[in-house]
Structure 1
Amino acid sequence: MVRQFVSSGSTFETQMGYSRAVVAGDWVFVSGTTGFDYSTMTISDDIGEQTRQAFANIAAALEQAGSRLDEVVRVTYVLPDGGLFEQCWPAMRDAFASARPAAMMIEAGLASPEMKIEIEVTALKGSAA
Structure 2
Amino acid sequence: MSGRRRISSGSDFEAEAGYSRAVVDGNDIFVSGTTGYDYEAMVLPDDLVEQTHACFRNISAALAQADASLDDVVRVRYIVARAEYAEVVFPIFGRYFAAARPAATLIVAGLLQPEMKIEIEVTARRRG
| TM-score after normalising by structure 1 | 0.94
User: Hey, what does 1:45 align to over in structure 2?
Assistant: 46
1:89 aligns with 2:128: no
Cα RMSD between the aligned structures? 1.1
Instruction: Give 4+ residue runs of structure 1 displaced > 2 Å after superposition.
Output: none
SS of alignment partner, residue 37 of structure 1: coil
CA distance in structure 1 between the partners assigned to 2:127 and 2:32 by the alignment: 20
SS of alignment partner, residue 36 of structure 1: coil
User: Hey, what does 1:35 align to over in structure 2?
Assistant: 36
Q: How does 1:45-124 map to 2 (within 5 A)?
A: 45-124=46-125
| Aligned residue pairs, count | 127
Flag structure 1 segments of 5+ consecutive residues without an equivalent. none
Flag structure 2 segments of 5+ consecutive residues without an equivalent. none
CA distance in structure 2 between the partners assigned to 1:63 and 1:41 by the alignment: 21
| TM-score after normalising by structure 2 | 0.95
Deviation at 1:95, TM superposition (A): 1.1
CA distance in structure 1 between the partners assigned to 2:47 and 2:100 by the alignment: 25
Deviation at 1:58, TM superposition (A): 0.0
Identity level (%) = 54
User: Hey, what does 1:10 align to over in structure 2?
Assistant: 11
Deviations 1:76-96, CA, capped at 9 Å, x for gaps: 000111211111123212211
Deviation at 1:12, TM superposition (A): 1.1
What is the identity, as a one-letter code, of the residue corresponding to 1:21? A
